[in-house]
Structure 1
Amino acid sequence: MNYSQMTAYIQSIGTALPPNLATQNQIADFMVSHLKLNKVEEKKLRVLYRASGIKQRYSVLKDFSENLNGQSFFKEDAFPSAKPRMLIYQEHAINLAFNACNQALKDSTCNKEDITHLIAVSCTGMYAPGLDIELIGRLGLKTTTQRTSINFMGCYAAFNAMKVSQNILGSDPKANVLIVCVELCSIHLQEKKDDENLLANAIFGDGAAAMVVSSAPAKRSLKMESFYSDLALQGRDEMGWYIGDHGFEMHLSARVPDVIKDGIAELTDHLLEKIQLEIGDIDYFAIHPGGKRILDVIEEKLLISKDQNQAARHVLNTHGNMSSPTVLFVIKSILDELKVADHNKHLLSFAFGPGLTMESAVLKTHINA
């Protein structure tokens, strides 16, 4: 099989958000109260939140945006164990995934009957029969739809899903692949006051994104041109995601941006060399906004401006880091603005996660007049 000859187009991207919107100030107030921070700890937390580059985040829980008078999911001195968190995931993840998929299907050339493969991506919850099977029923997809689940990979998992869809189309050009990434990061808040947990709790939110991938373009599409992945093993201990007695626990070191800074230029060079491009040939940037400092160091190393990286900064500001769907929110914000004159332009995208994994992709715009 000649993978270089595969043609895979992202025909559409749909997104979905839960109804509960909380500002960073509201979330900071909640954290101060529920973690019982003293004055010194409170000052440190509020400085962290102000410096995050985030204005607001979404959650399936009302805890952060409303005063629930003791009826909150996260009760003071009684944070829930893993099981209640998974029940919340099972209740709410399917609705977000369903809404994102519906939008993606509506904006594509495919009907639900045309979908041959479904890829479900998540790292914030799991159960079986899982999201993939529930979506078959809720969306009315064929029961013969081939299903793949990509779990527990973190913020870069959408790239793996795209590569799987590209391989599917390489073996069956008539296939139509529906991908959905859904994460409920907010349900895994930990009752801990160390720096790593305060940082993690300052940036993550909930959301879902779906895309339809086909061998034929839609009116406004993105062709998958090239992917390149590498591991910065010196950063293996800087980021982790583990199952604990009280939900999933994030290990997130302040050194993550430094590891990315050390490796991003070489990663980019290897990716662009595969398709004989240079950084000056890139027209759009869709960087996973894992945090404000990550965006800062990538801009510094690749000599791109904040204006060129505005799509990522806007998603970070208005949604926070939603893990795997986040980069698709960034890509969608660019895709939705493309005009006929933007045909055959190049988009460079990155995402990062445990390992320390660094994923990169070049997508090429395809606009039908």
Structure 2
Amino acid sequence: MSMKLATLKVTGIGVAYPSSLVPADELDNLAYAHFNRSPALDKTLAINHCSGIKTLSVVAPFDSPFLNQPTAPSITEISDLFLVEGLALATSAARSAIAEAGISADEITHVVASTCTNSSNPGYDLLLARELGLRPTVEKILLHGVGCSGGLAGLRLASSLCHTAVWRERPANVLVAATEINSSLARNGLECVDRDQEVRVGLALFADAASALILSLEYGSGEVLDGAAADADRKGPEKGIFEVINAIHMVVPGTESILRFDISSQGLNFLFSPSFAPC
């Protein structure tokens, strides 16, 4: 048994940013409004100043009521904010990717979504599919805990799903989405700095955004062997600047503690190795 040749093409890309763009050094105002000066807090803010990042796109500005409550936002409040603002960003990015791919929502076959800043159940992959009006039979997968590599992990998984579709002689248009709402964690991160007297550089590096892409199967028009799909409606979009050739995954031994995302009763907290500090 054999099958027709197929390629994996990125046929659409979309991004979405919050409307609020704030100077990064305004983190000082939030920090000193709620916490006393200390070596750890001063060092964290010094790193923020010399990171080279001038502005941040955020859904929760540093002077917002959300971050300036008497106590840090609870994990429930953080989750609720993501499921409104994060979902809206993901939906916008996904719609842009679908439009650029030149397909309809009905042609999406899979959804792969990643995030570290939400742990709700059902996950935002299901909520995103609902917002986009996708078919209920669309296969949905949520990735959590992969951090900065979430987009690449989603693309790698999407590639595997496409390869499976080839063997099943089926079409595939996989929506991959990555969404993070890091601004919701700023107050909690500062509280950890104050309480534990540990420098937290994540506060200086991350903001809010969503990105999405469509990975499509493009079947070749050459010889079709036993059982391969030959009808035109199984032929993916014949476009796409980028082609996925191969993907591998490897964990470098001894690196597990370099980047962490701990969950506490107050929320989610970045933990980095000092080697991540930009200055």
For residues 136-175 of structure 1, the aligned pairs below 5 Å read: 136-173=129-166, 174-175=171-172
Structure 1, residues 301-354: CA drift from partner, whole Å, max 9, x if none?
A: xxxxxxxxxxxxxxxxxxxxxxxxxxxxxxxxxxxxxxxxxxxxxxxxxxxxxx
Matches of 2:120 and 2:42 in 1, distance apart? 39
Residue of structure 2 equivalent to 1:123: 116
More deviation in 41-50 or 233-242? Answer: 41-50
How big is the shift at 1:235? Answer: 2.2
> What amino acid is the match of 1:229?
H
Structure 1, residues 263-296: CA drift from partner, whole Å, max 9, x if none?
A: xxxxxxxxxxxxxxxxxxxxxxxxxxxx757xxx
Q: Contact between 2:177 and 2:210, CA under 8 Å: does it hold in 1? A: yes
> What amino acid is the match of 1:88?
L
Uncovered stretches (5+) of structure 1, i.e. residues with no partner: 257-290, 294-369
Residue of structure 2 equivalent to 1:222: 242
From the superposition, tell whether residues 246 and 46 of structure 1 become closer, same or farther in structure 2 (CA, over 3 Å).
closer
Structure 1, residues 126-150: CA drift from partner, whole Å, max 9, x if none?
A: 2223312222221111111111111
How big is the shift at 1:35? Answer: 2.8
The alignment status of 1:181 with 2:178, answered yes or no, reads yes
* Structure 1 runs (4+) greater than 4 angstroms displaced: 40-43, 217-220
More deviation in 124-133 or 145-154? Answer: 124-133
Structure 1, residues 68-122: CA drift from partner, whole Å, max 9, x if none?
A: 5xxx222365112222211212222210110000110111132111111111111
Matches of 1:42 and 1:235 in 2, distance apart? 26
The alignment status of 1:212 with 2:209, answered yes or no, reads no
The alignment status of 1:196 with 2:231, answered yes or no, reads no
How big is the shift at 1:60? Answer: 1.3
From the superposition, tell whether residues 42 and 144 of structure 1 become closer, same or farther in structure 2 (CA, over 3 Å).
closer
Matches of 1:14 and 1:35 in 2, distance apart? 39
The alignment status of 1:112 with 2:105, answered yes or no, reads yes
From the superposition, tell whether residues 102 and 76 of structure 1 become closer, same or farther in structure 2 (CA, over 3 Å).
closer
Structure number with bigger Rg:
2
Q: Contact between 1:28 and 1:49, CA under 8 Å: does it hold in 2? A: no
SS at match of 1:107: helix
From the superposition, tell whether residues 97 and 237 of structure 1 become closer, same or farther in structure 2 (CA, over 3 Å).
same
RMSD over aligned Cα, in angstroms?
2.4
Residue identity over aligned pairs, in percent, reads 22
From the superposition, tell whether residues 196 and 252 of structure 1 become closer, same or farther in structure 2 (CA, over 3 Å).
farther
Matches of 1:237 and 1:175 in 2, distance apart? 37
Matches of 2:31 and 2:204 in 1, distance apart? 9
For residues 1-369 of structure 1, the aligned pairs below 5 Å read: 7-37=7-37, 44-62=43-61, 64=62, 66=63, 72-75=65-68, 78-173=71-166, 174-189=171-186, 190=188, 191-193=191-193, 194-197=197-200, 199-216=201-218, 219-256=239-276
SS at match of 1:163: helix
Uncovered stretches (5+) of structure 2, i.e. residues with no partner: 219-236
From the superposition, tell whether residues 45 and 167 of structure 1 become closer, same or farther in structure 2 (CA, over 3 Å).
closer
TM-score, length-scaled by structure 2: 0.81
TM-score, length-scaled by structure 1: 0.62
How big is the shift at 1:50? Answer: 2.5
Matches of 2:263 and 2:42 in 1, distance apart? 30
Q: Contact between 1:86 and 1:126, CA under 8 Å: does it hold in 2? A: yes
Q: Contact between 1:121 and 1:150, CA under 8 Å: does it hold in 2? A: yes
Q: Contact between 1:124 and 1:152, CA under 8 Å: does it hold in 2? A: no
Residue of structure 2 equivalent to 1:299: none
Relative CO higher for 1 or 2, CA cutoff 8 Å, sep ≥ 6?
2
Q: Contact between 2:40 and 2:199, CA under 8 Å: does it hold in 1? A: no
Structure 1, residues 122-181: CA drift from partner, whole Å, max 9, x if none?
A: 111022233122222211111111111111211112122111111111121411111111
More deviation in 221-230 or 240-249? Answer: 221-230
Matches of 2:40 and 2:156 in 1, distance apart? 44
Q: Contact between 1:35 and 1:76, CA under 8 Å: does it hold in 2? A: no
